[in-house]
Amino acid sequence: MFRNCLTALTIVMLGALPIQAETRVPASQAEIALGFAPLVKEAAPAVVNIYAKIITETQARSPFMNDPFFDDLFRGFGQQRRPRVQNSLGSGVILSADGYVVSNYHVVGTASEIRVVTNDRREFNAQVVLADEESDLAILQLDEAEDLPFLTLRDSDRVEVGELALAIGNPFGVGQTVSSGIISGLARSGTATGAGRGYYIQTDAPINPGNSGGALIDVNGDLIGINTRILSRSGGSNGIGFAIPANLVREFVRQAQEGSEAFQRPWAGMSGQLMDADLAESLGLGLVEGMMISDLHPKSPFGRAGFQVGDVITQVDGEPVNSPPEMVFRMTVAGLGQTAVFTRVRDGVAEDVEVAMLPAPNDPPAEALALGERSVFPGLEIARINPAVASGMGLPFTADGVVVTHAGPYAARAGIQEADILVRVNGRDIERPTDVEQALREKTRWMQVELMRRGQRVVLRFRL
């Protein structure tokens, strides 16, 4: 929708005419002055400012805390939890005329109140319709919105290093700002600051606090990605910023428009190992590329498609794969319920294999259980681990047993946390949720709980 404004821009910035394919310098002062102005004029109205209110609970600090004498005497005194209001400032991008807006999870994902201000100063209330912390993406729906300007999503797999790019957002709350640069890297994973784990486009266009959720566009005005993070020691842009690719945004929008309450990814049911020169040589591969399958879950769709431990996956739908984050990204953008073609190398022979993109199965049944008021730990919620539970709680796909899905107030005071895997309670081995319930019924003066927490064995012992 923005290609009409590019004639002058293409001449000035690229210096190449499609027919003559020759470069030249700007011919006039007018061309020099024009720069990116037509492009920004068309794209900027689709980038909005977001003001979010987040209510968190904080614990008041006791004046006796850390005092060797009074700490025990006044333990818990004045440490009641109090609500605290935090204001978050960020940016967003309108993706449809009826008011679907994409932003970052860390901007709006936990907000209780969201206000969106457009470039022409119109204000809308908004609700989060789909959010995912791991991807750091959130989709908003504006109230009573219609005929809004919006950006078109580009196929981000076609983006190349060296392309010109513009970042549009609201850095430091000073108002909408535009910065320019190039695409300086692709397929970046695990390099950006923050909690998000993902697969990024790298740019040297300055991205500063408040730019989060803003647009990274190309010279056609199409959306390449959503600005999300920076690599910085000072908190400001040091020339390395990261954007979430448009193809992942497209899948988020699709699921949001279909009414999904939580973002769903296809389940791999495998773990992979990054290829290096030694591993490639041992497998008889000429090039160091791809990801080797190191473990497979019995119910993995890859196992059902004939994959084995030791196979190397080099491509997904014709796009290269060199790490587990790339694999997850490629599966996600392929789309839940679709099939994707994986290039498998076994014994030096490459073969294309179709694999169904399916959610993690709820098999065996989770047998979710909430303990009642008469239990030692009323409010404790537990479930049997299966692929769906493990995936939803971020557990290793090989995890087994019974997991705490919600600790509740009494178990939390005893030191039990969400995602703890219960191994033994009062000497009883735990295999099913009902085993926990029965073990807690036993009358005893002391309680001992053995559990696994982030791969470490923990033993809790306390008096009833």
As a whole number of angstroms, the distance between CA 89 and CA 176 comes to 12
406 catalytic? Reply is no
* Chain mean position to CA 427: 40
Of residues 258, 265, 249, 247, the one with CA closest to residue 139 = 249
Q: 106, 179, 184, 237: which one is catalytic?
A: 106
212 catalytic? Reply is yes
As a whole number of angstroms, the distance between CA 128 and CA 123 comes to 16
- The 3-state DSSP class for residue 323 equals coil
Q: 132, 136, 204, 435: which one is catalytic?
A: 136
Q: 212, 300, 323, 391: which one is catalytic?
A: 212
Q: Which residues face 123 on adjacent strands?
A: 117
Cis peptide before 364 (omega within 30 of 0): yes
Residue 222's alpha-carbon distances to 150, 158, 180, 429, in angstroms, are 10, 12, 15, 57
As a whole number of angstroms, the distance between CA 52 and CA 115 comes to 6
Task: Check the CA dihedral 18-181-38-252 and report its sign.
Answer: positive
- The 3-state DSSP class for residue 19 equals coil
Helices 324-334 and 246-257 cross at an angle (nearest 10°) of 40
Contact between 269 and 302 under an 8 Å Cβ cutoff? The reply is yes
As a whole number of angstroms, the distance between CA 454 and CA 420 comes to 8
The tokens of 21 are what? 């394919």
Which amino acid type is present at position 324? P
Question: Mind telling me the catalytic residues?
Answer: 106, 136, 212
